[in-house]
A = this chain, B = another copy of it.
């Protein structure tokens, strides 16, 4: 890509505008936006003017917010008007939402009155609602039309519509009656009535529905578009599959960020300022660091009473803490991440809680037992290779190893049960399950692990004698 940018820059320098126009017009909007990102800022308005009208608008949509702002500054009012007129309404709204007030004002002034009205209406919907991602440009047909008339009507008005692959049939009061795919329309006899041909078994959502739910619906039912109705069941817009994919991808990124103890950001990484990255990361880091005070107090307490375990066992108990916490943390994340992903794909619901717990119960015993055995083997080997204990020291070593293996078994058990239960409960009480993953559960598991380790060691080492 960098090579293309260099080539383009040198073509600009030598004023080969015809060649540039030829290159750019065979490219896709998404690629041109990436190219612009690699170029010196002053070149962008110049190249943008070389683009055919439609491609210019598509490219504008694909550009990052800061680039869009720069470009708008460089365009004349009439040039800006041309771009705004070509934009789909939902894209225009997305762009306007990100811009500072003075730029928004300029954009709205250039839009024709109908477009301005539609943009303003869409801006009213809450962020993350179906209303905020829908487009108001769709093909609407009435039941009493014939197929021939409908196709004529689409020919007349369809050019500006975002998708004509699915047409929506509404009654006189604009309530939703059904839908008809363009495919069905074309394959039908010309004199069939739309009302007879339309599929009235139509899925729809409401303007106030959550955008993630709506995107999941499009995914689940393999739809290309989903109609959106208002409080009076009137058809007001459609959500198209391309916007749904964006929502799904963004929600996944958000989930992943939350699982890794960050507050989500919707900007691409390289575009985010360092201070803003810092702000997204520090709250969880600080909170989890302070939460570790509990583990600090527990270890401090036992370190000062280490002689009750004996010198050898005491050192071993302290030395195994990172291993034990790591194992507990990993076991817990495995369960929680699986459950969180299951929840967000709707494979798991609250009704499945007991099934999930029963499943993790058995899996945790399998994992815990296997790890305990492996660790015991390792500790026997470590004595041969490293420690070389004999006699009473060897007995103390074996008892400590037994305590540690019991601690592994119980830690894995507890971690998996907490890990699978917390996300489901969180979702039930309206919290975000993803926040419950990794770090949060790890903190709870860390404390439990330490108490189990020292408790079990006390039990084994002070009650069993060879």
Contact = CB atoms under 8 A, between A and B. Distances in A.
A158 B187 contact: yes
Given A281-B334, A363-B277, A186 B201 contact: no
Interface in A74-90: none
A293 B339 contact: no
Given A30-B220, A253-B341, A270 B355 contact: yes
Contacts of A261: 330, 333-334
B370 A286 contact: yes
Number of copies: 2
A351 B37 CA distance: 14
B323 A359 contact: no
Interface string A327-356: 101110110111101100101100110011
Interface stretch (A97-105, A121-129, A227-235, A242-250): A242-250
A132 interface: no
Interface stretch (A107-115, A388-396, A439-447): A439-447
B165 A224 contact: yes
Contact of A316 (B256, B300, B331): B300
B322 A270 contact: no
A323 B367 contact: no
A421 to B, nearest CB: 14
A441 to B, nearest CB: 11
Interface in A144-200: 151, 154-155, 158-159, 163-165, 182-183, 186-187
B277 A359 contact: yes
Contact of A367 (B282, B303, B336, B345): B282
Contacts of A333: 260-261, 438
A455 interface: no
A295 interface: yes
Nearest to A188: B155
A341 B251 CA distance: 12
Interface stretch (A10-18, A39-47, A206-214, A374-382): A374-382
A277 B242 CA distance: 34
A26 B203 CA distance: 11
A222 interface: yes
Interface string A235-265: 0000001100100110011011101111000
A312 to B, nearest CB: 10
Given A186-B151, A285-B371, A299-B319, A359 B274 contact: yes
Contacts of A53: none
Given A28-B221, A270-B359, A374 B318 contact: no
A322 B295 contact: yes
B253 A345 contact: yes
Contacts of A339: 269
Contacts of A439: 326, 330
A275 to B, nearest CB: 7
Contact of A256 (B154, B259, B315, B351): B259
B293 A326 contact: no
A260 B186 CA distance: 50
A268 interface: yes
A323 B348 contact: no
B241 A289 contact: no
A261 B332 CA distance: 11
A342 B186 contact: no
Contacts of A320: 296
A378 B293 contact: yes
Interface of A: 2, 26, 28-30, 151, 154-155, 158-159, 163-165, 182-183, 186-187, 201, 203, 219-222, 224, 241-242, 245, 248-249, 252-253, 255-257, 259-262, 268-270, 274-275, 277-278, 281-282, 284-286, 288-290, 292-293, 295-297, 299-300, 303-304, 314-316, 318-323, 325-327, 329-331, 333-334, 336-339, 341-342, 345, 347-348, 351-352, 355-356, 359, 362-363, 366-367, 370-371, 374-375, 378, 382, 386, 408, 412, 438-439, 442-443, 446, 450
Given A30-B220, A253-B341, A262-B334, 7 more contacts: A219-B249, A259-B337, A270-B359, A290-B378, A295-B319, A296-B319, A299-B322
